Amino acid sequence: MRPRAMSDDHWLTARHTWVEVLRNLGRLLDGRERLRTEAAFREDWRRFAVIELDVTTCEIAADIAITHGTRTLDALHLAAAQRAGGAALPILTYDLKQAKAARALGFPVVGV
C-alpha cells in the first residue's frame, strides 16, 4: 500500500494521530494558545500522507503489541509504518519503549 501523497510525501502518520494530537493540545493548552496551536496543527496535517487504520493495519498492530509489548497507539503507529514502506522508513519517537519495538522491527529510529 502506498499512501496518497499530500504536499509532502516525506512525512506520514496514521489516522489516529489526529485524535492523539488534538486530545493532548486540549489537555495541555487553553484559550487563545490552544486555538492558535490547533490551527497550526490542522494546517500541518494537510501536508501529511495519512495511513488509514484498516483491518490489515489493525491486525499487524495487534501482532506488534503482543510480540513487543507496546501500547496500543504505539503499535498502531508502527503497523501503519510497516504498511507504508516498512524498514525503509525512519521512525521519529522520543518514547524509549516504542523506539525499542521499532528497532526490533528493523526500522531506523530518530529521536532516542
Kindly give the residue spans of alpha helices, DSSP state H, lying in the chain: 17-28, 31-45, 55-68, 72-84, 96-104
* 7 belongs to a structural domain: no
Give the lowest-confidence range in 1-5, 12-16, 58-62.
1-5
Instruction: Please say if the pLDDT value at position 42 is more than 70.
Output: yes
* 22 belongs to a structural domain: yes
Q: What is the pLDDT of residue 9?
A: 53
CB neighbour list of residue 55: distance below 8 Å, 6 or more residues apart: none
- Which residues constitute the domain of residue 22? 12-110
* 51 belongs to a structural domain: yes
* 4 belongs to a structural domain: no
Could you give the number of structural domains in the chain? 1
78, 81, 87, 90: CA torsion to nearest 10? -90
Q: Three cell numbers at 52?
A: 488509514
Q: Across the chain, what does the average pLDDT equal?
A: 90
Instruction: Please say if the pLDDT value at position 1 is more than 50.
Output: no
Q: Express as a percent the part of the chain with pLDDT over 70.
A: 92
User: Which residue type sits at 49?
Assistant: A
Instruction: Please say if the pLDDT value at position 4 is more than 50.
Output: no
* 77 belongs to a structural domain: yes
CATH number, domain of 99, equals: 3.40.50.1010
